[in-house]
Chains A and B, each alone.
Chain A
């Protein structure tokens, strides 16, 4: 669940069809534009409207915060090892990376080394039981905070989701819509400045704005605290610009969005964003797939 790539909140319908029939699409024919990362917690959680809801999703807003805590533990013990052994992460080919001996040594070496100071040393000082408890407490804390910071940016009330229909060989670009089935950009585009050219709903940058949400926009403190995740829209638009710059450019981005009639969703603070994220999960647990 770590990181992001330029194809946020976009799922490929062909691949999702195959998945529901438990058929693994071969790596070579996977759609490189889809975003399996944010939604890798399905079927435990339903975040994207394309996925079929299950009975337990009705309670996902209650158990989600508990699952968040497991995020880094799952990565340390399961996902990383799976990536190294299968040499792929979701649809990303990692063959080249783990084919190199040096990278394999680095991976297993750093795993072993970090387990020494994260588990072995605590066990030495506090006994095996105590050491394991300390390791778990540290990781659960890290996972909880990290997952919270990441999820509110993309899985939240008001944000749009997109799907790409590859099934007939050609792309039917459907417009990004929220879980309620509306497209906020349909409304904002009408208030675009007169004389400005019309931005298509599937314009790359416009999709980043429709699928990401800021919180505490403009705050120097929260920007540094979150490593720039509080300015997720700016981060998606300019991934190579260091996060300390986001407070210097957020007003430029917001003004340009208003001028072109592109949505720019900004929540007043992290608590508001967290509440809206839970509301979104609650709603997703009760509505049908689109």
Chain B
């Protein structure tokens, strides 16, 4: 009874002003919910902060095909929206809920987890390895062959985009949110910033886990790079210094080993 009376009518502008990690409000259907504390225990990770300060009805429905108990929303509810932005979309039909039901059922019957499986993760390591390998070959091959390696590198950079970061930024690459973030970061690795989906997934400064994905990636990449440097020299018997072209070796900056 007491809880009922504390709920109030909230305007869209008020919701918009709560778009920071320390005070994050969002709209689901007509309910305004406070996700500031909840973002820390949200099963999908703090990607939920993407929705701070805006209407997240579509995201809410489409990212939870198994549904979310109404009690979860009710516990977080702080009020109802007065002037929601008029939407183009209609949600009255049972078409989408039927789709969700059947798809969830199918995946269950085939014993497939919704998020990334070892198949996409093994593929990701292979793509990253191929990207760095072709980049390395591009450095060390003579110019004509280097052009070919550059084309191959470009193709693998595209695979990084479609097969790794895309799922990562949708939170679909792994059930561990941190690995999703790391997968999203591979976009920065090919020189393009992950600006789209994680555009607003800022992080609280007090959260030490922010540095982990970065360190994880650096570690992974250094292992991959060193792996290829080692195999290169042991397979061909040529040291990395021999791969440096003549004009570079002739440079006064270059110290012969």
Contact = CB atoms under 8 A, between A and B. Distances in A.
Interface of A: 2-3, 5-7, 10, 28, 31-33, 37, 72, 75-76, 79-80, 83-84, 89, 92-97, 99-103, 106-107, 110-111, 114-115, 117-118, 121-122, 124-127, 130, 133-135, 137-142, 145-146, 149, 162, 164, 166, 170-171, 173, 197-200, 202-207, 224, 226-229, 237-245, 248-249, 252-253, 256, 260, 262
Given A137-B150, A240-B114, A118 B191 contact: yes
A283 B207 CA distance: 52
Contacts of A122: 138-139, 146
A145 B63 contact: no
Contacts of B167: 227-228, 242-243
Given A141-B155, A204-B91, 4 more contacts: A126-B139, A130-B146, A142-B161, A260-B95
15 contacts: A2-B192, A83-B195, A84-B193, A106-B188, A125-B139, A125-B244, A139-B154, A139-B157, A142-B161, A146-B161, A171-B86, A200-B92, A204-B61, A204-B89, A243-B167
A2 B187 CA distance: 11
A241 B64 CA distance: 10
Nearest to A241: B114
B55 interface: yes
B95 A206 contact: yes
Interface size class of B (residues with CB under 8 A): 35 or more
Interface in B20-44: 20-21, 44
Nearest to A98: B202
B202 A100 contact: yes
A171 B88 contact: yes
B200 A126 contact: no
Interface in B182-219: 185, 187-193, 195-203, 205, 210, 214
Given A121-B139, A203-B91, A227-B166, A137 B151 contact: yes
A239 B235 CA distance: 43
User: SS class of chain A's interface: helix, strand, loop or mixed?
Assistant: helix
Given A114-B191, A240-B172, A134 B247 contact: no
Contact of B63 (A89, A118, A140, A240): A240
A262 B157 contact: no
Contacts of B205: 100-102
A94 B157 contact: no
Interface stretch (B3-11, B72-80, B116-124): B116-124
Interface in B113-150: 113-117, 119-120, 123, 135, 138-140, 143, 146-147, 150
A147 to B, nearest CB: 9
A200 B90 CA distance: 7
Contacts of A126: 139, 143, 146, 245
Q: Which residue, of A7, A94, A101, A256, has the highest number of chain B Cβ atoms within 10 A?
A: A256
B109 to A, nearest CB: 10
B231 interface: no
Contact of A114 (B110, B153, B190): B190
A127 B247 contact: yes
A256 B99 contact: yes
